[in-house]
Structure 1
Amino acid sequence: MFPYCPGSSPFSEPIPELVICPHCGKEVEIFTNEGSMKCYYCGGLVTREKRPSCFDWCAYAARCIVEIEAQRRKS
């Protein structure tokens, strides 16, 4: 048994991913817990491809998200 949900790690322990800005072509970092951000080169909106996660099907997803957000606010 896991002490935590292994599927929630991209949200509870986000890591940066490189994404190409569709407006200027530069690489920008978007963290795995973010869906979009403003490009720091041109100011355009850059979105990260949404990937399926356990939050899409897990019966405990709503409670898990609340716990992750509470932990994030504490730190």
Structure 2
Amino acid sequence: MKARVYVMLKDGVLDPQGAAVQHALGALGFGGVNGVRQGKVIELDLADGTTEDTVTHMCEKLLANTVIESYRIEVI
């Protein structure tokens, strides 16, 4: 089983990396970018029989800081 975990900062949490990317895009002449939020994607290659519930526990314990980040799991 393979799973993809998408981790993003929660709404309202400042995203300095996203702001830096937005500024750099403007400096390169790419106008019209009103906001950038940066996150991460984690791909997991899991043993057969691993459940989505197990992946949720992985996210809660290590892959996402649930105080400031949200996550979404996609089984692929």
What is the TM-score with the length of structure 1 in the denominator? 0.24
Kindly indicate which of the two structures has a greater share of residues assigned to strand.
2
> Larger C-alpha radius of gyration, 1 or 2?
2
Query: Bigger relative contact order, structure 1 or 2, given CA contacts below 8 A and separation 6+?
Result: 2
What is the TM-score with the length of structure 2 in the denominator? 0.24
